[in-house]
Amino acid sequence: MSRYAINTLLYNLKKDRALRARFIKDPRAAIADADLTDAERAAFIAGDMKTINELGGYLHLVMSVPKIGTHGGH
């Protein structure tokens, strides 16, 4: 588990609109170069924010990445 790698990717998805667009189109390809474990990569590809959070993804990023994040209940 890499708290740094997960959160850097979440941060970049939030702040880099082009990366976000590539991720929405093809998540596997968009994060191919990211330094993630298999479990982390699978969670991102599945868009499984709950698992990403449990693996160390910072809650406020998990909740606020546009078009990808979950607002946590709404």
Partner 1 sequence: MGKIVFGGAMSHVLDPDYYQAACGDIGRQKVTAAMDAIAKMGDRFADRRADALIVVADDHMNAFSFNCVPAICVRIGRKVQRMVQDEAEAFDKVLDHMPLEYPLHEALANSILEQGLRSGFDLALSWEAPVDHAFLSPVNTLLGKRPIPPLVPIFVNAFIAPQPTARRCFEFGQHIARVVGGSSWNAGIIATGGLSHFPELLLSRVGETDTVFDRKLIHWMETGEHESLLDLTADELHKTGSHEFLNWMVLLGAITPARAEVRYFGELPRINLAAVEWRLS
Q: Which residues bind partner 1 (CB under 8 A)?
A: 4, 7-8, 11, 14-15, 17, 49-50, 53-54, 58-64, 66-67, 69-74
CB 6 → partner 1: shortest distance, Å?
A: 10
Burial class (CB in 10 A: 0-12, 13-18, 19+), 13: buried
DSSP state of 31: T
Return d(Cα 15, Cα 39) in angstroms, integer: 24
Q: How far is the CB of 47 from partner 1 (least distance, A)?
A: 13
- Min dist CB 61 to partner 1, Å, is 5
